[in-house]
Amino acid sequence: MDNLDFQEDLSELVTEYVKVLPDKLAEIEIEWYKLLHEPWNKERALKIHRELLNMVGSGGTLGLHLLSNVARDFASFMAGLVTADTKPVSEEEMLVDKFLQELRSAIEKNQLNKKFEKTVVTRKFIQELNSKRIEAEENMEKLQTKLKELEKRIENTVNISSQSQFLEGTVLPGSAGESYTIQQIFGNGGMGITYQAVRNSDGIRVVLKTLFPELVNDTKVSMRFLQEARAIMELDHPNLVHGYDFYQEKNLCYLVMEFIEGESVGSILKSSSSLELKKATQIILDVAMGLLYLEEKKLVHRDIKPENIILSTKGIAKLVDFGLVKMTDRDCTLTTAGIVLGTPHYLSPEQLCESKVDIRSDIYSLGATYYHMVIGEEPFQGENQMQVLQKRLVQIPKPKKVKPDLPKEVANLIEKMMQINVNKRHKNAQQLIEDLQKTLEKLAKESTNE
């Protein structure tokens, strides 16, 4: 083999080599170039050979695999050079023979390393499989535990659902894994019982309003109850009660609401007959702020009365009990023909006629409540409920006739709120709020002058 063939083959090998490891391009290319085009230099050849050996032995990835292929080509080339004659006759050929042996050794070592790497990968894979198996077994145990809890919960629900009244300490299931513990009865109504309870996840006191088991399967009643739940769970206003949860299963149906530390206006009126003017007006203003929020949501409460206004210990009034709430842009399909929904003493005239109602109907009921708070009695009196209902169709209360010392601005405000014709009342909650604020300012000035 002449030197020209040697240079051409070596040049092809170098070209392939630098494609594999471009980061060594500059250094290796220069050294190989010098070896090929300059007089033979033993030290340079040894240096290049060491580079090749180091790179074959230090790899372990795709680059190493490609480099090994280059090394094999180089080894084959060296073998051809050595066998050109029966024995080495020059220093170049002696070095080539040495290079060949060392490269073969390096390649064999590299192949062993690859086998070892495959073994390590296999072991790691097996370890991961074992880990997944252990994790799966743990998850299965957790699922079995949850299944037992669910079975127990269903069993308890079946027992609970047949009860009309729950004892203190009874635990009721809730949605999303929540549960509630009954503390005491809060109130008793025609549709169900209201309890004070504790939310077990965080210990917060709540109000739990239930439906009697026999009413859960009544479509109209249960739909009205669901309507209330949806409404208050979407409310977010400081003067309106907020809902937390709604649960229905078999004969068990209840609504969970925030617990308000305080007393209802109805309860206050039973003990003190009437309220001080400024306090009463401030309570009405608070509720009016809540009505403004409801109006924006296109909702009508339809059952505003002293019992449904809670005065908190912080002095903030909140409107509760949204059992008759209605969307103003929808026809009421849950009211049975001939049945009046609402409390007679505070009901608006249009509710008696089953007309379409809006926020002005709530303003009327709030005016009737205001009347009761400052006068000390309901706005309409009668021997029976029918007389009470009929009077509001033809009479507008005159609070000053009952209480002559009542400030004129308060009397006028109540009369405007309780107009029979809806178009003569405040057009919206904002107008009512403005009038109430003006009234409060006048009352404050009068008390200062005194």
- pLDDT above 50 (res 88): no
Q: List Cα–Cα distances, 358 to 425, 429, 434, in angstroms.
A: 12, 11, 19
Q: Which has the higher per-residue pLDDT, 53 or 207?
A: 207
Alpha-carbon span 366 to 400, nearest angstrom:
18
What confidence tens digit (pLDDT) does each residue in 327-372 have? 655 444 434 333 344 567 898 998 887 668 899 999 999 999 999 9
Per the CB < 8 A criterion, the answer to whether 244 and 230 are in contact is no
How high is the mean pLDDT of the chain? 76
d(CA 339, CA 189): 18
* Full DSSP string of 291-356: HHHHHHTTEE-----GGGEEEETTS-EEE---TT-EETTS---SSPTT---S-GGG--HHHHTT--
Amino acid at 307: E
Residue identified by tokens 């083999």 is 1
- Predicted local confidence at residue 63, as pLDDT: 43
List the structure tokens of 373.
């708070």
Please give the backbone phi and psi of residue 301, each rounded to the nearest 5 degrees, phi first.
Answer: -75, -50
What is the phi/psi pair of residue 257, to 5°? -130, 170
- CATH superfamily, domain 171-258, is Phosphorylase Kinase; domain 1 (3.30.200.20)
d(C-alpha 350, C-alpha 264), whole Å? 26
Beta strand pairing call for 326-327 and 299-300: antiparallel
Q: Which of 19, 17, 50, 14 is nearest to 32 (CA)?
A: 14
Nearest CA-CA partner of 181 in 158, 162, 156, 213: 156
Domains of the chain, residue spans: 3-124, 171-258, 262-449
CA atoms within 13 A on the CB side of 87: 0
Place of tokens 């007309």: 355
More confident call, 39 vs 400:
400
The active-site residue out of 9, 245, 286, 303 is: 303
91-109: average pLDDT: 56
Q: How far apart are the first and last CA of the chain?
A: 128
Looking only at Cα atoms, what is the longest distance across the chain?
Answer: 139
Contacts of 325 (CB under 8 A, 6+ apart): 227, 228, 231, 232, 299, 300, 301, 302
**What per-residue confidence (pLDDT) applies to 3?**
46
Highest mean pLDDT of the ranges 112-126, 197-211, 276-290, 327-341: 276-290
pTM above 0.75, yes or no: no
Q: Is the pLDDT of residue 81 over 50?
A: no
**CATH of span 262-449:** 1.10.510.10
pLDDT tens digit string along 162-205?
Answer: 556 788 888 888 887 789 999 999 888 778 899 999 999 999 99
Of 39, 40, 69, 37, residue with least CA distance to 56: 69
Catalytic: 5? no
pLDDT over threshold 80, residue 52: no
Quick check: helix, strand or coil at residue 274? coil
